[in-house]
A = this chain, B = another copy of it.
Amino acid sequence: MALVAAGTKSVELSVPSRSEYVAVVRLVVASLATGTRNLAADRIDDLKLAVSEACTNAIEANRKAGLDAPVIASCWEAPERLEVCIADSGTGFEPSTLSAHPEVSDPERLNFERGLGIPLIRSLVDDLRFESTPQGTKVWMTMFGGPDSGDATTEIVRTVVERD
């Protein structure tokens, strides 16, 4: 799957790498998904949560890189999907090497106060792609469901699209 977005860019939001601005990013994405799309309320909550996780990681990445760079959220709209990209200027990472979590029954589970973010994003959005280089990371999140389709399409398109 190509790493370029499928739709037309609509909104771009740049905020400082500070935790108090994550709420603004959530707000914008939720308002787009509500106002110009037709996503069900629980899917909008899913998107807000995914965006929040990605922004939290982006702020952390900029901070670790010692950069006063912004976090940039871009939204791309296509008839059947909304794509949100969260970009930072950190030093990047290799998503495939992230260690898996222990099973829920494992007593070790309790040691995981962190490392929950990306697994959460993965289970919340319809498609997730990373574009990570030593110059920065882009996290692309896709939600299916168009302006008119509502959630009927979501399930259909979800089934059709191949996940990798």
- List A residues at the B interface (Cβ < 8 Å): 10-16, 20-21, 23-24, 27-28, 31-32, 35-36, 70
Q: Are A24 and B28 in contact (CB under 8 A)?
A: yes
CA distance A113 to B48 in the complex (A): 39
Given A13-B13, A14-B12, A15-B10: A31 in contact with B36 (beta carbons within 8 A): no
Residues of B within 8 A of A32 (CB): 24
Q: Are A21 and B13 in contact (CB under 8 A)?
A: no
Residues of B within 8 A of A14 (CB): 11-13
Residues of B within 8 A of A31 (CB): 23-24, 27
Residues of B within 8 A of A15 (CB): 10-11
A10-B15, A10-B16, A12-B13 known; 5 new pairs, CB 8 Å cut-off, are A11-B14, A12-B12, A13-B28, A23-B31, A27-B27
Identify which of B27, B35, B36 contacts A28 (C-beta below 8 A): B27
Q: Are B13 and A11 in contact (CB under 8 A)?
A: yes
Quote the shortest CB–CB distance from A56 to chain B (angstroms).
16
Residues of B within 8 A of A21 (CB): 10-11
CA distance A10 to B17 in the complex (A): 10
CA distance A15 to B14 in the complex (A): 12
CA distance A36 to B23 in the complex (A): 11
Residues of B within 8 A of A27 (CB): 27-28, 31
CA distance A28 to B11 in the complex (A): 12
Residues of B within 8 A of A70 (CB): 12
Closest to A26 in B: B31
Quote the shortest CB–CB distance from A85 to chain B (angstroms).
14
